Amino acid sequence: MLQDLRHAFRQLAKSPGFTAAAVLVLALGIGVNTAIFSIVEAALLRPLPFPEPDRLVRLHEAFDQPDTRANTLNLSELTVQQWREHSGEIFTGFGAATGTSLTLGAATGTPPRYLPTARVTADFFTVLGVAPVLGRNFTAAEDKPGAARTVIIGHDLWQRQFGGRSDALGQVLLLDGTPHTVVGVMPPTFRHPYRADIWVPLAAGFDARAGRGHFLYGVARLKPGVTAAAADAAMRRICASLNAAAPDASNPVRAYIRPLREGFVADLRPKLLAIYGAALCALLVAAANFAGLLLARAVEREGETAIRAALGASRRQLLRESLAQSLLLAALGTAAGLLIATWFSPLLVALSPEGSDATGSAMREFDHAVRLNLPVFGFATGTLLLAGLGFGLLPAWRASRADLRSAMTGGGRGATLDRGTRRLLGALVVGEIAVALMLLVGAGLLTGHFRTLVTQPWGFATENRLNFKVTLDQLYPTPEARTQALDKALGEFRAVPGVRSATVTLPHPVEAARQLISNNPAGAVPPEPRGFHLAYLRATVPGYFATTGETLLRGRDFTTADNAAGQHVCIVNEAFARRYWPGKDAVGQLVKWGRLDGPRPWFTIVGVAADTKIIEDPNDGEINGTLHLPLAQVLAASVTFNEFTFVLETAVEPRSLENTVRAALARVDPRLAAYELSTMAEQVALTRVTERFALTLIGLFGLLGLVLAAIGLYGLLALQVTRRMREFGIRAALGSTAAGLIRLVATQGAWLLTGGFVFGGAAAAIAVRIARSQWPELPAASPLVFALAGLVLALAVSLASWLPARRAARVDPIVALRAE
Amino acid sequence: MIILRNIEKVYPLKGGVFYALRNISLEIKEGEFVSIMGPSGSGKSTLLHILGLHDSAWGGEYFLHGEAVHQLDKKKRFDLQKKHIGFVFQSYHLLDDLTVYENLEIPLSYRDIAKKERESVVCDVLDKFGIVGKKDLYPSQLSGGQQQLVGVARALIAKPSLILADEPTGNLHSDQGREIMRLFKQLNAEGTTIIQVTHSEENATYGSRIIRLADGLIISK
């Protein structure tokens, strides 16, 4: 074999053109695939960095249909307490957490810094199976209201704040102005949950009124041998028993149990797999091209192969020699592909504005950085073997069937390709064209989809708007304190020169789908057993519409009288009004927050707003419209809302006000930090990152497939023309015109194109159907998309056919027939 | 060594069958040096390919070293060919990418002979043919005569009992041609049976017998 490889190497070195073409084709195919695979590996395949991660599950409270977000809720404090108490037979541990943010350094004179924070139960890390790399975990005593404040810090913060020194333990950090003692440091890259920089005990400073609020993230570790089905059955029994002991319609009937990992990859999977599918298609085109090149090479060298056979080489030995060459080429292609992947992987990640959104949030919380690791190398090696052995086998088999008589007489040289070889090469080119068409249809489909998404108006102004978030947590523990702080901040911002108006809201206008509110419009029958409808929540203050540019169609905006002590009022959007009061004026109608038998108040509708664009979560289930509530009344009802978005309408370039706005916030409270500060236009551009990512990549693969298919066709026709030069010479000598010779070559190209269209069209229709079943937002492919993709392909193929056809047309009969 | 009985080679054509060879019966004894002659299209090369076991689609009986070739399957024919037959081509057909040494080595490697033994055999042959100084050269660096010398050496290296040569001097000028024929004569004298196809009466005189073909039939033997 070593000798075969040595000979193969020498042969390749003597044909640098062929070698370069084959290596380049494979390198492109393998390079982009390895790069995409490295992302798939990081986002979808790499296990969570915990011991026995398959036993970790995420828990939701579930009602009738567990598979939609509309029917599953985060856990309430009460549920956590009850489930922890009763689920000992199925779980070895049950942790809970919630996300918030705290400001660091506020009282030390340094500028306050916002830190993403997770409040966790004392056993949260134990359940996961992860321990601090320095110091210790929280104790049960620390996870109680009124306990001494402690904090576990992330590795990055440890490096930044303490230079990685071990005496960080015992040091005091001022978080929201309150001293917290550092008791531990988490491992590098660990930021779970909520991409936290610091962790504090859940119970510390907890407000008892939130007992029924569904804000807790629940994670549990299944006992060894307990299956998800068994856990589901056990949780049903536990829920039934709890409900029997204390009947309450709002009690969950079951737990929605999903593998922990699934929560990170579920939404991402279809999109990444669509991208990966496209990359595989590009690889297929590259591999077919590679096989075509090898086949052409085998045809060129069939004389030599026949001599080897005449010298005693068996079929097996000829196969081995030929495979040695394709394997060597595949190895070179893979090496070059890995180089491309090394360069392309970071580029792919960078294509996403936030660097990793498109590849899943898991990458931000764990060690899920994209890199060329063992599994990725394994993939590349597998591709190498597939390309080298799989696609090299056919040409090798063809080569091993050399005609000995031709070699003895030299009769094979200069003859036209035999029918079998022609068909084989033709089939490869048809395959390439078909796959390229499929890729182009995919790219066309996504382009249309993406255009629809980005051209749909938002319904609020995006120009001259500055926005940022501020978290009010431990510094402002009561609704009154928070409302006063927000009012004071609005006053300061409105006084900043260059600011026309200011408002505060939650959630951020472009993140409208983030907050759901359970409700019961008067007269509408609540879905049972859940007992409430769902809408998107928007909490606003007076003047919100004027500042954001959203349109109030009927009725009035909130006023200062709509405060915590005032009448409960709300504004609904058109979709909400249409759904519950079709053909009627919704103003004056009533909506109850929560279940009909729940403690929340009824709200009177005082206005109807125009609909705004909402980027829905496809797993949300049925969400009906948007419900605007006065922020003060929302805060009075639930203290769990602590992240607020300020929107400032500016008379100048918004970014130019950044420093003055930060200074204004410092005048309100120097301990507060503004974060995620950007213009509304920038925020809007950040949305649809995944779709844009998919579009860019599938477009790139479409282009790659197109170019490779065109090269493949060119290669085949050029080979045929070379082999038929004598025939063309005779035809020319007999009086054929140049146009006639061109027609001969072009007709062959046209047949191959037609074959590619037939198979590619059918394959694309099937691929689109499969993609839509996994990615429901995708539209159906219109005939226009197929037509455009076909046109682009036809143009490329025409160009690829034109060059060999022109060469055929320029045949000189004297030169071509000189051998005679 | 070779017995042919009623060998026929037929090509079916639209207008009827075409006989490339018809009723060929002959015997060639071990140690003979036979020249096959005849005009173009007489069936010389077709006969050589049948003798060399390149062609399996023919009728009649063919015995090689007592083995009934016409009754053997493809693999056994291939094994028989590897064991007994060496080829010399008109266009030399050396492998361009291999050195003289490697060209000589390759038939041995196809016969699964160990590397040490291959080295020893190749060195012997290089010495015998006086081309030791050329062993690291590529075919393109040799003259036509030198290339055919290597071609003959390669045909002999696996020690075949029969050499089949198709116009071995067809691409050489007369001096080089004579040198090759003298070499054949010497090899024949050492015991190798040689069958050559040639148009050259002069070359045929080096052999012990001439078989003449015309229109697929033996006209003298």
Helix (H, G, I), strand (E, B) or coil at A500: strand
- Does A312 sit within 8 Å of B96, measured CB to CB? no
Q: Which of B36, B40, B54, B89 to mutate to test the interface with A (most CBs of A within 10 A)?
A: B54
Contact A248, A212 (CB under 8 A): no
Which residues does chain A have within 8 Å of residue B166's beta carbon, measured at their own beta carbons? 408-409
Q: Mean pLDDT throughout A381-409?
A: 70
Contact A789, A709 (CB under 8 A): no
Residues 409-448 of A with CB under 8 A from B: 409-410
**DSSP helix, strand, coil percent of chain A (3-state; round to 5):** 55, 15, 30
Contact A140, A71 (CB under 8 A): no
Which residues does chain A have within 8 Å of residue B87's beta carbon, measured at their own beta carbons? 310-311, 408
> What CATH number has the domain bearing residue B204?
3.40.50.300
Which residues does chain A have within 8 Å of residue B82's beta carbon, measured at their own beta carbons? 312
Which of A619, A613, A634 is CA-nearest to residue A570? A634
Query: What does residue B183 show for φ and ψ, rounded to 5 degrees?
Result: -60, -45
Helix (H, G, I), strand (E, B) or coil at A630: strand
- Does B89 sit within 8 Å of A311, measured CB to CB? no
Helix (H, G, I), strand (E, B) or coil at A49: coil
**Total number of domains in chain B:** 1
Task: Compare all CA atoms of chain B with the CA of A321 and give the residue at the minimum distance.
Answer: B110
Q: Does pLDDT of A378 surpass 80?
A: yes
- Does B54 sit within 8 Å of A408, measured CB to CB? yes
Which residues does chain B have within 8 Å of residue A9's beta carbon, measured at their own beta carbons? none
Residues of B with CB under 8 A from a CB of A: 45, 48-49, 52, 54-55, 78, 81-82, 87, 89-91, 93, 95-98, 102, 106-107, 109-111, 154, 158, 166
Residue B40 is predicted with a pLDDT of 86
Which residues does chain A have within 8 Å of residue B107's beta carbon, measured at their own beta carbons? 311-312
Q: Does pLDDT of B6 surpass 90?
A: yes
Residue A356 is predicted with a pLDDT of 38
Helix (H, G, I), strand (E, B) or coil at A507: coil
Which value does ipTM take for this structure? 0.78
Q: What are A428-479's pLDDT values in tens digits?
A: 888 888 888 888 888 888 777 777 777 788 899 999 999 999 988 777 888 8
What would the DSSP string read from start to end of A772-795?
Answer: HHH-TTSPPPPHHHHHHHHHHHHH
What would the DSSP string read from start to end of B2-29?
Answer: EEEEEEEEEEEETTEEEEEEEEEEEEE-
Q: Does pLDDT of A353 surpass 50?
A: no
Residue ranges per domain, chain A?
1-47+268-413, 53-260, 416-458+687-820, 473-671
Which residues does chain B have within 8 Å of residue A305's beta carbon, measured at their own beta carbons? none
Q: Say whether residue A16 is in contact with chain B using an 8 A CB cutoff.
A: no
Residues 6+ apart with CB under 8 A from A222: A55, A56, A57, A90, A91, A92, A228, A231
What would the DSSP string read from start to end of B24-72?
Answer: EEEEE-TT-EEEEE-STTSSHHHHHHHHTT-----EEEEEETTEEGGG-
Residues 6+ apart with CB under 8 A from A602: A522, A568, A590, A591, A592, A593
pLDDT band at residue A640, thresholds of 50, 70 and 90?
Answer: confident
Angle between helices A16-40 and A374-385 (to 10 degrees): 140
Residues 6+ apart with CB under 8 A from A524: A533, A580
- Does A307 sit within 8 Å of B54, measured CB to CB? no
Q: Mean pLDDT throughout A473-498?
A: 91
Measured distance CA(A363)–CA(A455) in Å, rounded = 30
For strands A198-201 and A113-120, give the pairing: parallel
Q: Say whether residue A310 is in contact with chain B using an 8 A CB cutoff.
A: yes
Q: Mean pLDDT throughout A376-388?
A: 79
Q: What are A256-281's pLDDT values in tens digits?
A: 888 887 777 766 677 777 777 888 88
| Average per-residue pLDDT for chain A | 83
Token duo for residue A78: 């009460």
Measured distance CA(A108)–CA(B119) in Å, rounded = 84
pLDDT band at residue A404, thresholds of 50, 70 and 90?
Answer: low
- Does B87 sit within 8 Å of A11, measured CB to CB? no
Task: Compare all CA atoms of chain B with the CA of A306 and give the residue at the minimum distance.
Answer: B93
Q: Nearest-CA distance from A320 to chain B in Å?
A: 11
Q: Give the range among A181-190, A404-413, A418-427 with minimum mean pLDDT.
A: A404-413
Distances from the Cα of B30 to the Cαs of A216, A266, B27, B81, B152, in angstroms? 97, 80, 10, 16, 19
- Does A311 sit within 8 Å of B87, measured CB to CB? yes
Q: Tally DSSP H helices, then E strands, for chain B.
A: 7, 10
Task: Compare all CA atoms of chain A with the CA of B92 and give the residue at the minimum distance.
Answer: A408
- Does A10 sit within 8 Å of B154, measured CB to CB? no
Q: Mean pLDDT throughout A729-754?
A: 80
Neighbour-count burial of B112, counting CB atoms closer than 10 A to its CB (0-12 exposed, 13-18 middle, 19+ buried): exposed
- Does B158 sit within 8 Å of A3, measured CB to CB? no
**More confident call, A71 vs A513:** A513
What would the DSSP string read from start to end of A706-774?
Answer: HHHHHHHHHHHHHHHHHHTHHHHHHHHHTT--HHHHHHHHHHHHHHHHHHHHHHHHHHHHHHHHHHHHH
Residue A129 is predicted with a pLDDT of 93
Q: Is A594 left (phi over 0), alpha (psi -120 to 50) or beta?
A: left
**Cα end-to-end distance, chain B, whole Å:** 16
Q: What percent of chain A has pLDDT over 70?
A: 89
- Does A408 sit within 8 Å of B87, measured CB to CB? yes
Contact B55, B9 (CB under 8 A): yes
Q: Nearest-CA distance from A414 to chain B in Å?
A: 16
Q: Nearest-CA distance from B144 to chain A in Å?
A: 17
- Does B98 sit within 8 Å of A311, measured CB to CB? no
- Does B97 sit within 8 Å of A10, measured CB to CB? yes
- Does A404 sit within 8 Å of B49, measured CB to CB? yes
- Does B98 sit within 8 Å of A7, measured CB to CB? yes
Which of B45, B26, B18, B46 is CA-nearest to residue B167? B45
Nearest to A312 among B55, B102, B110 (CB): B110
